[in-house]
């Protein structure tokens, strides 16, 4: 019987073949060099996605349309043939040495159950920004040295299969903010440890079309709604006055600095306020 792969890289995707092409082009050679396997989990049927997978000669699972990101993660974990499962989003580009750094950290720290690295945001369109704020998409940077962490994000996270077996799968009822954090909270509550790996760096991309305000604003609004729901679930949802203060600050930033990021931040808070109004009507 052949040895199991060094790791399984699971990439959930939904009708985003152009993003997946970049992700696989950067991940595939690293997987080959380290003895890892790559598994794409497709949320619904998509001929363009199938073509990208065939071109890169990686494994693929297909779920029912609308299954969701956490369902994709769980299906990928269930089909993995390794003891270390690496989850990434389909809109990433892994930098050189990313996968080797995760594998080395997992070997050096058997007492840790989860590992994650820097997530560097990159908008490939031309939004006017003041330079005072980071790009308004998921990012992570704990510095240039490895360290224990309280959280890492699902765009760049490796988890031991034994930990998933022990704690159970990702919560498939969660869509948007908190989808991976809920599992990490369970891990920490059980005494599990998370390690930040400074050399496991990847880019979190938005291509030219998705970098436009007409795309980013509605996405931020929807994410704000899910963020408020997850904060409420954790018992940390801020009161109305604080949400309004954040909205006012974002609007001021957009106008005073002529910064498009402020518009996106304001849309996120508007989504939170919409969810808060629903809370009050219940």
Check: CB of residue 140 under 8 Å from CB of residue 159. Answer: no
196 part of a folded domain: yes
1 part of a folded domain: no
83 part of a folded domain: yes
2 part of a folded domain: no
% pLDDT > 90, the chain: 90
103 part of a folded domain: yes
At 257 the pLDDT is 86
Whether residues 86 and 20 fall in one domain? yes
Please report which confidence band the pLDDT of residue 1 belongs to, taking 50, 70 and 90 as the band edges: low
Show the domain range for 129: 8-206
46-73: per-residue pLDDT in tens? Answer: 999 999 999 999 999 999 999 999 999 9
Please report which confidence band the pLDDT of residue 129 belongs to, taking 50, 70 and 90 as the band edges: confident
Counted domains in the chain: 2
183-219: per-residue pLDDT in tens? Answer: 999 999 999 999 999 999 999 999 999 999 999 999 9
Whether residues 141 and 271 fall in one domain? no
How does the average pLDDT of the chain come out, rounded?
95
Whether residues 166 and 272 fall in one domain? no
Which CATH number covers residue 64? Answer: 3.90.550.10
C-alpha pair distances (Å), 28 with each of 11, 35, 36, 56, 93: 12, 10, 9, 7, 11
Backbone angles phi, psi at 93, to 5 degrees: -135, 115
39 part of a folded domain: yes
Whether residues 17 and 124 fall in one domain? yes
Whether residues 139 and 257 fall in one domain? no
Last-in-domain residue among 146, 175, 206: 206
At 56 the pLDDT is 97
Query: In the predicted model, what is the mean pLDDT of residues 162-173?
Result: 96
Whether residues 271 and 141 fall in one domain? no
Check: CB of residue 247 under 8 Å from CB of residue 266. Answer: yes
Whether residues 41 and 172 fall in one domain? yes
Greatest CA span in the chain, whole angstroms? Answer: 65
At 95 the pLDDT is 98
Whether residues 97 and 154 fall in one domain? yes
Whether residues 153 and 235 fall in one domain? no
């Amino acid at each position: 019987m052949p040895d199991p792969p060094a790791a399984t890289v699971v990439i959930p995707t939904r009708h985003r073949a152009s993003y997946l092409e970049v992700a696989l082009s950067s991940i595939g050679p690293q997987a080959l060099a380290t003895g890892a396997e790559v598994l794409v989990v497709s949320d619904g049927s998509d001929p363009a996605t199938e073509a990208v997978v065939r071109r890169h000669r990686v494994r693929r699972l297909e779920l029912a349309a609308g299954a969701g990101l956490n369902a994709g993660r769980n299906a990928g974990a269930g089909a993995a043939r390794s003891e270390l499962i690496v989850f990434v989003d389909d809109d990433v580009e892994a930098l050189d040495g990313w996968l080797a750094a995760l594998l080395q950290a997992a070997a050096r720290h058997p007492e840790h159950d989860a590992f994650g690295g820097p997530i560097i945001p990159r908008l490939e369109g031309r939004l006017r920004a003041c330079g005072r704020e980071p790009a308004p998409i998921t990012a992570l940077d704990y510095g240039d040295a490895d360290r224990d962490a309280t959280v890492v994000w699902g765009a760049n996270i490796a988890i031991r299969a034994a930990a998933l077996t022990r704690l159970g799968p990702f919560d498939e009822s969660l869509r948007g903010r908190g989808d991976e954090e809920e599992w990490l909270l369970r891990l920490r509550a059980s005494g599990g440890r998370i390690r930040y790996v400074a050399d496991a760096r990847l880019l979190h991309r938005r291509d030219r079309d998705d970098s436009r305000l007409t795309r980013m604003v509605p996405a931020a609004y929807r994410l704000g709604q899910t963020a408020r729901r997850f904060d409420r679930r954790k018992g940390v949802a801020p009161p109305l006055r604080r949400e309004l203060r954040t909205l006012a600050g974002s609007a001021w930033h957009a106008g005073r600095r002529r910064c498009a990021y402020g518009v996106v931040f304001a849309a996120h808070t508007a989504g939170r306020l919409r969810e808060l109004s629903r809370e009050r009507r219940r």
